Structure 1
Amino acid sequence: MTEIETGSGSGTEDAASTPSPPRRPLRQLLAASVGNAVEWYDWYAYTFLATHIARQVFPSHAGDSLVPLLSTFAVFAVGFFMRPVGGLLMGAIADRRGRRTALTVTILLMGGSSLLVGLTPAYTAVGVLSPVVLVAARLLQGLSVGGEFAASTTFLVESAGPGRRGLFSSFQYVSTSIGQLAASGLAALLVARLPEDAMNGWGWRVPFLLGAVLSLAGFWIRRGAEETLAARPVGGRPRPGLFDALRHHPRASLLIAGITAGGTLAYYTWTSYLPTYAELETGIAKGDALLAGTLSLALFTLLQPVGGLLSDRFGRKPCLLFFGLGFALLVVPLLRALDGSFGSLLLVQCAGMVLLTGFTSVSAAVNAEVFPARVRAAGIGFPYSLTVALFGGTAPYIGTLLQELGRPGLFPWYVAVLCLCSSAVYLRLPERAHEPLDR
């Protein structure tokens, strides 16, 4: 198999350009996880408060309550389409200047953009300037999150000791889920405690202002992390260019896209859109939908290290196939099982979280094992973030649009088909769980 296929034949210069795993891997794990949790708390707060943001930022259309919600989810998708740019730019910084440098830049960007969302003026006060400010904030958030995944994925996996890449990989989604859990829990608490008028007026702003403060704490923690890449030219070889990964490893880039497509659609459907889907499709109370999402996220968080350990023992492919084939077969009956009750929604969400673990717990390790160290961050960041933008970022919008068109039953089939396509990629994926990581 060629170097492009394996991503591990970069030679002695690449091996010399990165040090051995850091001496204090648990500290590395903490630095990556805390900062990542803050990043994703800021990102997901928008999703859970979408309906309240819609009432403040977009004008209502008489007789069509879905128009503001569709507009808000369109801005959600716009943020996703900045993620490939962030993955490419911040990935290049991580490959050229070091992972820690990129991680500190991304968390400062997220803090600033979260503050901007929290201070977005209402449409009734400033007119069209209101959605313009919101779009600008989401563009910055997309840039930050795209770069965050590229840098933190490489940082986590390169910090792992022998036989622990899967375990360290799982903390990508442990920390993501903690951030999401915090955003969901705070949103549920605010909805339960505040009157509707207060929630629509100022209550939805609180999580974003808090996120800006938390970003400063994450920045301070990350500054003390140990660098996993010696960012210097070796043997006269220049630092990698912006498009080196795409130019020299096109097959690996396509492989990242195939691995990610089904997983990202299923992930954002289950963790972000499902409460809204259940609310629109079955009429379940908003508070119950948020509570079910919060409880299932807690289960999901606990499952991630288990999946990572299993992948270190038995390989990445069995975990990926468990997810891909399981979702392809079960997503339609699971979503049809929703009947408007809290119990059915909680059961459906928890079942999906178990299946999702097969993808989320190993995706960082699988991605890092595809590319050589010299272009690993940018190599992962661009194709991964582009795929997430195309399939994950549009999931809420497509689901809501199909609801408005009177064809909500098509959405589960869309998820099933894409998961089946990714499963075909998993079947042909080389198993590298027990091979040394290129350094």
Structure 2
Amino acid sequence: MTETATHTPAPPRRPLRQLLAASVGNAVEWYDWYAYTFLATHIARQVFPAGASNSMVPLLSTFAVFAVGFFMRPVGGLLMGAIADRRGRRTALTATILLMGGSSLLVALTPTYMSVGVLSPAVLVTARLLQGLSVGGEFAASTTFLVESAGPGRRGLFSSFQYVSTSIGQLAASGLAALLVTALPEDAMNTWGWRAPFLLGAVLSLAGFWIRRGAEETLTTDPAQAAPRPGLFDALRHHPRASLLIGGITAGGTLAYYTWTSYLPTYAELETGMAKEDALLAGTLSLAFFTLLQPLGGLLSDRFGRKPSLLFFGLGFAVLAVPLLHALDGSFLTLLLVQCAGMVLLTGFTSISAAVNAEVFPARVRAAGIGFPYSLTVALFGGTAPYIGTLLQDLDVPGLFAWYVAALCLCSSAVYLRLPESARKPLDR
């Protein structure tokens, strides 16, 4: 799966510090990203007024909702991945968190449509473009950094903290948004309350930057075998099979992840008429459960291998996605059980996604090699999951969505079957 390593120095001497640097920064990144999602309705009232007469406003609004969220992530994965491969993982990680902090501050300071007109949505779209760039680059750099920081037999465990920190960021954004909505009057929430989480995010980004500045670089090269720095498209040009492999590994996983962690509460509302507050509470509890499962999934993969974990996820969803989604009956307990059951299966993928991806590419092009195909696959399958589910609901065939999830997970399972086991192989450095 990777080129034979001729120079394999020891992993960093302070692995726990490395783990903290990657995890804290990643949590801050995803806190900033998800804060927009949870506060979107309040932002829209100030930036995209329903009665605006300027025809550019709905166009910009559509662009902000659909394109900004996922279009820039593959670009960020490619650009920041190339920086990580050329200048070092730590350089890319500090760049992504500063970019996220700056874009979060820009969201917080976005003027209202009433004060500056169409410039208001233009500023917000720019901020979201930068956030998308940052998030795409974050996965490429932090995935590589985490796995390269792990000691022998611990790559799966370290890999699991990618989704531990992502989920913590999501829960923090959700919790703060809920607290503000509960504590502030509607007028205050619509005028200044929605800005507070983004100001906090900018401050937290500075703290994450400080932590990451003290991390140890994991990109190591042998001076006797120094090679020219990789070009922007070297990973795609020289490792096309590995790039396609990343897509096959990720497709089913990203669809199942976005379905179970983001779309399932909405699906339950549309399909069964479940109350929104009950659906969101079930989603929050299951996400906390999911966060606790990740290290266990990583440890099990270090002990028993990557393939059993991946097949547990892929074949599990291929067989159970349809009965699980069809089991929803409008009750809180049923939704919670369905979500938690899916989270157990999903852990087989999420807990080791970073390790599996890193083990596919050689160190020289690892970050860019992971970043672009992974983010593109997420955009194509993960980002479109809510849209496809809602479209099938509108076409009065909602049951097809479960079969779509099962079919794509089955396709990824075929890829997993052909993967050579890599858990005990030394990582190319």
Tell me the TM-score normalised to structure 2 length.
0.91
Give, in whole Å, the separation in 1 of the partners of 2:423 and 2:142.
19
How far the C-alpha of 1:213 sits from its partner, in A, is 1.3
CA distance in 2, matches of 1:378, 1:166: 21
Is structure 2 residue 362 aligned with structure 1 residue 372?
yes
Percent identity at matched positions? 89
User: C-alpha deviations, 1:339-377, integer Å up to 9, x for none?
Assistant: 333323222221211111000001100001001111111
Q: Report the RMSD for the aligned CA atoms in angstroms.
A: 2.5
Number of the residue aligned with 1:426 = 416
> Does residue 1:287 correspond to 2:286, yes or no?
no
Letter in 2 for 1:7: T
Distance 1:293 1:263, change over 3 A: same
Following superposition, the deviation at residue 195 of structure 1 comes to: 4.3
Identify which of 370, 376, 392 aligns with 2:382. 392
CA-to-aligned-CA distance 1:16-65 (integer Å, 9 cap, x gap): 6xx4201111111111111111011111222233344444443448xxxx
Deviations 1:197-241 (A, max 9, x none): 544444333322221111111001100001111368753521111
**CA deviation after TM superposition for structure 1 residue 76, in Å:** 4.8
Task: For residue 19 of structure 2, give the secondary structure of its aligned residue in structure 1.
Answer: helix
Q: Which residue matches 1:297?
A: 287
Give TM-score, length-normalised by structure 1.
0.89
Q: 1:188, 1:290 within 8 Å by CA — same for their partners in 2?
A: no
Change (3 A) 1:401 1:127: farther
Alignment of 1:226 with 2:205, yes or no, is no
Render the CA deviation track for 1:143-173: whole Å, top value 9, x for unaligned: 1011111111111111111111101111111
Residue in 1 aligned with 2:3? 8
Alignment of 1:316 with 2:306, yes or no, is yes
1:332: how far off?
Answer: 2.5
* CA distance, structure 2, for counterparts of residue 124 and residue 415 of structure 1: 43
Q: Give the letter for the 2:276 counterpart.
A: K
Match of 1:187 among 161, 174, 177: 177
* Unpaired runs of at least 5, structure 2: 52-57
Contact 1:262–1:415 under 8 Å retained in 2: yes
Letter in 2 for 1:100: R
1: CA distance between counterparts of 2:428 and 2:170? Answer: 32
2:30 paired with 1:35: no
Q: Which residue of 1 aligns with 2:344?
A: 354
1:399: how far off?
Answer: 2.8
Distance between the aligned counterparts of 1:288 and 1:190, measured in 2? 19
Q: How does 1:110-121 map to 2 (within 5 A)?
A: 110-121=100-111
Residues 1:274 and 2:295 aligned together: no
1:334-345 alignment to 2 at 5 Å? 334-345=324-335
Structure 1 counterpart of 2:123, one-letter code: V
- Residue identity opposite 1:26 in structure 2: L
Per-residue CA deviations over 1:274-327 (Å, capped at 9, x if unaligned) read 233333444434333332222111111110000000000111111111111112
Q: Deviations over 1:381-415 (max 9, x none)?
A: 11111111111122223333444444433322222
Distance in 2 separating the partners of 1:346 and 1:84: 33
SS at match of 1:210: helix
Deviation at 1:266, TM superposition (A): 1.1
In structure 2, what residue type is equivalent to 1:246?
Answer: L
- 3-state SS of the aligned residue for 2:169? helix
Distance 1:60 1:416, change over 3 A: farther
Which deviates more from structure 2 when the two are superposed, residues 291-300 or residues 80-89?
291-300
Structure 2 vs 1, CA of residues 56 and 346 (structure 1 numbering), >3 Å: closer, same or farther? farther
1:85-121 deviation line (CA, Å, top 9, x unaligned): 1111111111111100000000001111112223334
Indicate yes or no: 2:77 matched with 1:82.
Answer: no
Question: What amino acid is the match of 2:239?
Answer: H
